Structure 1
Amino acid sequence: MANIVALLLPFFGLILIGFAAARLTKQPAEALGWMNTFIIYAALPALFFKLVSRTPIEDLARIDFIVSDIGATYLVYSALFAITYFLRRATFADSTIQAFAGAYGNIGYMGPGLALLAFGEAAAVPVALIVCFENAMHFIVAPAMMAVAGGDRRPPFKLAADVLRKVVLHPFILSTALGFLVAASGAEVPLAGQRLVDYLAQAAAPCALFAMGVTLALRPLKRVPVEIGYLSIAKLVLLPGTVYIVLSLAGDFDPVWVYSAVLLAGLPTATNVFVISQQYGVWQERASATVLITTTLSVLTLPVLLYLINARILPPDLFP
């Protein structure tokens, strides 16, 4: 357990430092803009390119793994949407955002650094695949659902073109695709380029976690809506459990791939959920509260999850 605490302390420590810095310096939210730009357009893409480009191409073609992970995620998403829309009688738009709050984890900011520290370089490929393909799926589903809800009134062809452009041109997708090409071709990146990529990649986790802490500080919690209780349980417990079961049923995957997917599924709600809620003017304050509360609760749940993995209480394959 001491090793797990030592692993997680730097991560939550960086979030806490960012939180404290925002509260003490009283900088406006706009001051975070260039750091977020650096993280999204430079540091994290460099990390994904580095991870993918240095991996044998046969390890990158695991469609069964990708489909199983996304299928498990949207199984939970669908269940939460049904509960919210049919049982709690929320609007279609509110139900869409609430389902994302319970199924869209902070895989981009927290996932790569934490998984690599926990499982080593062997976690590089599954993490890159999960981050890119899950984000791409979320970028497609969110506007599609909001269009059905009436919150997005763009013509269908324009909506489809905008979604496609957003997916194809996203820095995470582009950097991963470029990494695929380098891995497939066997080309060598010049030494100067490798060093630049390494420098940027090393900055990804610290900057992302610091920025996350700042973002949380700039969204103070005013009240705790009742639905955040079951959404937190779904995000931090149900989703990693579902991913674990589905991957066990789907095939014989490398243990590190399974554990990486389960760990990423157990991360708190992504700040992108709040961004989506702001974009459509739906469930904004509660989306912000969900991000803050699940991040706080994950200080307790992530050590337990890592302990279960490291102690092999969770076997790599539930159904060998």
Structure 2
Amino acid sequence: MQQIFLVTLPFFALILCGYLATRGRLLPLGAIPGLNAFVLYFALPSMLFQFAANMDVGELFDPHTIFVYMLCALLMVFLTIVTTRRGNTNWNNAAFGALVAAFPNSGFMGMPILVSLVGASGVGPAVVSISIDMIITSSLCIALSRLGQQGDGGAMDAAKKAMKGVLLNPLPWAVVLGAVCSATAFRFYEPVDQVIKMFANSCSPIALFTIGAMLARPPVTAAADSAPAGRFPLGDIHLIVVYKLIVHPLLVLGVGYVYTQMGFDLSPQSLTVLVLVAALPSASSITVLAEKFEADSRRIAQIVLFSTAIAFVTFSTAVKWLI
């Protein structure tokens, strides 16, 4: 176990450094959007492109991996909404609670850690999980968040806006471009390829540092039509943290095991990566998304913060059991 902690500690230490730098005002709050933009539009797409370009296309679009992870994501959304939509939790807050329970930090945090733990062989399932969460899970939860809302176009309009956001997100396009290069054996001119590698190499430390900075950033107060900030019971927040760190990975493990016992060809390596992805803490970007759709972002920020802090132990334990 000590050896596992030695592997995972540097990643969580970088998150802590970003958190302390922001809380201590060494990093201005105004710098956080710039860091986030660098990771989202340059570093992480370069990393995803590089991995996709060097992988077999079949590994990136394995139907068994897609089915198992997507089924578990939908089950997590259903479970969270059914058990939390009560009292102050309207459809808007219930939907974003479900999103934060089902959407792990697989981009900024998962890719760097998984590559370190399992190597390039873990990239395919991780990319599948990122794509499903960005396209399916996010769009579904945003559409659900509009139920009961008046004068905003309803769930269908929200789903269209979510899909527009997906199309403007550079991460899926980086994977697609990498897959095309892999299928056609295309390689960029060497100086261009070197630039991509430099961006990719910068991804891990800056992405993890940015997560910490985003966790330290004060969220916007909830909108008037949402539950007042701070009014959610602490048990509600803790329940969703348990869903994310314990229930989600166990659900993926259980569904994957049953799926393979039924004779379907899901490789043990892919299942291991999917379980580790599910064991990651909640994606920090959901706080920003909750602010945009006027949900209680303080509640989401607390869930992200608690899940990230506790994941140092729970994720390390999952690594010890699975690898």
TM over 0.5: yes
Percent identity (aligned): 23
2:282 counterpart letter in structure 1: T
> Deviations 1:228-252 (Å, cap 9, x if unpaired)?
1211111000000111111222233
1:308 and 2:321 are equivalent in the alignment: yes
2:245 pairs, out of 232, 236, 243, with: 236
Deviation at 1:173, TM superposition (A): 1.0
Are residues 90 and 35 of structure 1, via their aligned partners in 2, closer, same or farther at CA, if it must alter by over 3 Å?
Answer: closer
1:286 counterpart letter in structure 2: R
Give 3-state SS (helix, strand or coil) of 2:280's partner: coil
1:62 counterpart letter in structure 2: D
Give the whole-Å Cα distance in 2 for the aligned partners of 1:276 and 1:105: 14
Alignment coverage as a number of residue pairs:
309
Match of 2:7 in 1: 7
Give 3-state SS (helix, strand or coil) of 1:268's partner: coil
Match of 1:147 in 2: 146
Match of 1:249 in 2: 258
Deviation at 1:151, TM superposition (A): 6.8
1:269 and 2:282 are equivalent in the alignment: yes
Give 3-state SS (helix, strand or coil) of 1:108's partner: helix
Match of 2:197 in 1: 198
Deviation at 1:123, TM superposition (A): 0.7
Are residues 173 and 150 of structure 1, via their aligned partners in 2, closer, same or farther at CA, if it must alter by over 3 Å?
Answer: same
Contact 1:29 1:218 in 2 (8 A): yes
Contact 2:238 2:303 in 1 (8 A): no
Match of 1:61 in 2: 61
Contact 2:49 2:175 in 1 (8 A): yes
> Deviations 1:165-199 (Å, cap 9, x if unpaired)?
22122110111111121122222232222211111
Contact 1:51 1:128 in 2 (8 A): no
Are residues 31 and 238 of structure 1, via their aligned partners in 2, closer, same or farther at CA, if it must alter by over 3 Å?
Answer: same
1:48 and 2:48 are equivalent in the alignment: yes
Match of 1:260 in 2: 273
Contact 1:143 1:152 in 2 (8 A): no
Deviation at 1:51, TM superposition (A): 0.9
Contact 1:240 1:266 in 2 (8 A): yes
Match of 1:170 in 2: 169
> Deviations 1:68-123 (Å, cap 9, x if unpaired)?
1011111011011111126x673111211111222111111111011111111111
Match of 1:299 in 2: 312
What is the Cα-based RMSD across aligned positions, in Å? 2.2
Any unmatched runs of 5+ in structure 1? 311-320
Give the whole-Å Cα distance in 2 for the aligned partners of 1:96 and 1:34: 28
Give the whole-Å Cα distance in 2 for the aligned partners of 1:268 and 1:196: 31
Match of 1:280 in 2: 293
Are residues 222 and 163 of structure 1, via their aligned partners in 2, closer, same or farther at CA, if it must alter by over 3 Å?
Answer: closer
Are residues 299 and 181 of structure 1, via their aligned partners in 2, closer, same or farther at CA, if it must alter by over 3 Å?
Answer: same
Q: Which deviates more from structure 2 when the two are superposed, residues 276-285 or residues 202-211?
A: 276-285
Match of 1:97 in 2: 96
Match of 1:70 in 2: 70
Match of 1:131 in 2: 130
